[in-house]
Amino acid sequence: MYRFLGIILRISLNPIDGGGYCAYFHTNNMTVKAENGPLQQHYEIVGTKGFMASIDPKYRMSLNRFKQIRGAFHPEDKFLGNQKGDKCYMLRAQLNEINTRSMTNFVPEANLAFDEGGIACRSRYCPVWQYNKDKPDKFRIDFFILAGSSTRIIYDVDVYQGKNASNVNIATEFHNLPTTMKAVLNGVCPARLGHKVGDAQGYRVVSLDNRYQCPQLAWVLWHR
């Protein structure tokens, strides 16, 4: 399972266009046959060799074995999966565990940042897959992340589900807010910001880009 999860992580960090997850198990670059008059030539497509070729053979996993585990491994919590409208119910238990552990063990630092972070994904079976022409990875899954600016500790993470009309995993007090305000407040407000830190005033600076920032949101954050 360590190898399987390691492969999943490596695939998310080094996407290859075309071929799906099987492409990461190619030990050589792919070739295509082209006809030029009476001659037939084979052309090598550079950059299509998977990372599996660079791994020591005794640590490799076969493609068939990977498919077997991938087809049987479902870490979702079935109780949480019964929530209507949760497109990401298969990750909900893990996300809740990460956030709970983080809030229990860390006091947020003075300077925080809230933004989205994404990983490449082209799977047509992924319910939270989206397309953004302005991103380097145009097909991706986005996460809302509250993190420390200097330590890079993640204090809260959630999956972007569009407008999230079902308000899955959103505090009741934020249900009627616009999508971006809802995402920021739901991530920032539970973050134990009442705990003092080393600066003189005891305040924290939360940095956001233009997508999330607005006067109404700044007012609410200031008064909380």
**In this predicted model, what pLDDT tens digit does every residue of 82-91 receive, in sequence order?**
566 778 877 7
Q: Does pLDDT of 200 surpass 50?
A: no
3-state secondary structure of 156: strand
- The residue range of the domain holding 13 is 2-72
Q: Are 76 and 90 in contact (CB under 8 A)?
A: yes
Query: What is the reported pLDDT for 108?
Result: 83
Q: Are residues 66 and 95 in the same domain?
A: no
Mean of the pLDDT values across residues 33-52?
Answer: 69
pLDDT for residue 38 is more than 70: no
Parallel, antiparallel, or unpaired for β 139-148 and 39-44? unpaired
Number of C-beta neighbours around residue 99 at 10 A: 20
Q: Are residues 23 and 107 in the same domain?
A: no
| Residue of higher predicted confidence among 34 and 55 | 55
Of the listed ranges 106-115, 138-147, 166-175, 192-201, the least confidently predicted one is 192-201
Contact 169, 107 (CB under 8 A): no
Give the domain-ending residue among 51, 72, 93: 72
Rounded to an integer, the average pLDDT of 36-63 is 74
Does residue 215 surpass a pLDDT of 80? yes
User: Using alpha carbons only, what angle is made at residue 43 by residues 45 and 37, rounded to the nearest 5 degrees?
Assistant: 145
Single residue among 55, 72, 89 that ends a domain in this structure: 72
Helix (H, G, I), strand (E, B) or coil at 41: strand
pLDDT at 81 over 70: no
Q: What is the mean pLDDT of the segment spanning 77-104? A: 76
CB atoms within 10 A of CB 97: 11
Q: Among residues 20, 42, 72, which one ends one of the domains?
A: 72
CA-nearest of 136, 140, 134 to 122 is 140
Instruction: Tell me the one-letter amino acid at 116.
Output: E
Using DSSP bridges, classify how beta strands 205-207 and 111-120 pair: parallel, antiparallel or unpaired: parallel
The answer to whether 157 touches 144, Cβ cutoff 8 Å, is: yes
